[in-house]
Structure 1
Amino acid sequence: MAEVKLHGFWYNLFTLRVVWTLKLKGIPYLNIEKDRYNKSLQLLEYNPVYRKTPVLVHNGKPLCESMLIVEYIDEIWPHNSLLPADTYERALARFWIKYADEIFPAVSAFFSSNNDEEREKSIEKIWEHLRVVENQCFGDQKKFFGGDIINIVEIDFGSIFKFLVAEDILKRRSWKMRNSLTCTHGIIISRMFQLLKKTSQTMRKWWLLLSLLEKNVWHLPKKVIYIRSSMNESLCICLNRFFMRVC
């Protein structure tokens, strides 16, 4: 297999998208951690336009932008495809990926806001965006956008969920910000978004599974069985398919 290198920052949601894709595909890669504040000459050479991570280097050729990298990986290693096979469904998935990423200006405004009024406005924009996502993508009892199996839309949404879950933000923000978030019930995963909350919880189990798989836990059947038995039925379907990939 050709050499694969990933230049990224460990807690960057865009880098996580690529990491999850590589792990779900079972592709070995060399992780090259980057300092987000002191960018290396190599990173600037690989990404002279945006000058940021992630950058995937395959066969010595660099590729930038997280979801472009995800699609590239899915085409180069087509087993267990993340993109729908149907042309219409594939176009629809790309539409929702684009829509999901349009939430970032409001999120950026939230974290850069200087007063409660600005913060409330940005939160309302985020909520409005998430209402559409919840109603259109995760209705009809669907656990994932594609039904019972994680696909490229979950790779995109999942990284966003991970950074918008209120309890995660509360752990990392200042005391002043924590008070503000508490007063506004957080950004996401509150009583307002029960379907997103369920999807986020399911994705968290996937993150745990990927972490365990990275440590070769699949060679310890008892632990794997325990993990699988604690999942709901739809997630077990996902795991059955996933274990067929890696075992």
Structure 2
Amino acid sequence: MEDKEEVELHGSWPSPFMYRVIWALKLKRIPFRYIEEDLSNKSQLLLKYNPIHKKIPVVVHGGKPICESMVILEYLEETWPHQYPLLPSDPHDRAVARFWCKFAEDKGPCIWMMFRTSGEEHERAVKDSLEMLKTIEEALALGGGKKFFGGDEIGMVDIAFGGIVRWMEVIEDVVGVKLLEPAECFPKLHAWMMNFKESSVIKENLPDKSEMFVFFKNLREKLV
């Protein structure tokens, strides 16, 4: 039975973790109300719904909050399993998908470390980021020419790695380091990126690149 209780998404532009949730909601065609949070002046609702980390994204479903982007995606999958499944039906394939989602969570922060550091720490983050991208390239190569990690449709693993598509491009421009060039070094990853961002749901729900550049350039100047 379709769940009719209201869904709210508390987020903040241009968080890649928030966009993970937006993509999942859109793919599953789950109606939701978006609430923009000012993270420099956090609302009482945000502090109430996520008192531990006080971060976005937070989904509130039927008055009950769910925090952390990948936990939210699992919740959406379990609550609306038949509306555009994000995980495969085979138990082994589901386990493999969850492994790569965990990899994205564990290794993804190195890109943000590259963004927010300088000197030796920055160089180490660049090296870690390249190693991560090489591993993703190898994983895609094992897919046998599939458009996405799990086949011909976007799944949870693609959403987990979705920050590579727009955010890493902007970070590369801001810090002046091109990790994905030349394209010949990462042919599978480049093909996946193109397929992902050209998908209609993703294409219609990506933040503007030029606006992001200004935002992250200013943020880096404050951090470094």
Structure 1: unaligned runs, 5 residues or longer: 213-247
Look up the match of 2:189: 196
Could you tell me how far 1:209 is from its partner in structure 2?
Answer: 5.9
Aligned residues: 199
- From 88, 91, 95, give the equivalent of 1:91: 95
CA deviation vs aligned residue, 1:116-150 (integer Å, no higher than 9, x gap): x4323211111111111110234322211112111
Letter in 1 for 2:92: Y
Letter in 2 for 1:156: A
Look up the match of 1:187: 179
CA deviation vs aligned residue, 1:47-91 (integer Å, no higher than 9, x gap): 011110000000000000101111111111122211110111101
- From 118, 125, 143, give the equivalent of 1:114: 118
Higher relative contact order (CA 8 A, sep 6+): 2
Closer/same/farther in 2, CA of residues 122 and 84 from structure 1, 3 Å limit? same
- From 61, 77, 91, give the equivalent of 2:80: 77
Q: Which TM-score applies when normalising by structure 1?
A: 0.75
Structure 2: unaligned runs, 5 residues or longer: 206-224
What is the CA RMSD across the aligned residues, in angstroms?
A: 1.9
Closer/same/farther in 2, CA of residues 70 and 138 from structure 1, 3 Å limit? farther
Q: Which TM-score applies when normalising by structure 2?
A: 0.82
Letter in 2 for 1:169: I
Look up the match of 2:132: 129
| Structure 2 counterparts to residues 33-72 of structure 1, below 5 A | 33-72=36-75
Closer/same/farther in 2, CA of residues 11 and 207 from structure 1, 3 Å limit? farther
Report the identity percentage.
Answer: 41
Cα distance in structure 2, aligned partners of 1:135 and 1:123: 19
CA deviation vs aligned residue, 1:3-36 (integer Å, no higher than 9, x gap): 1100001211110011001100111110000112
Contact kept in structure 2, 1:23 and 1:210, CA below 8 Å = no
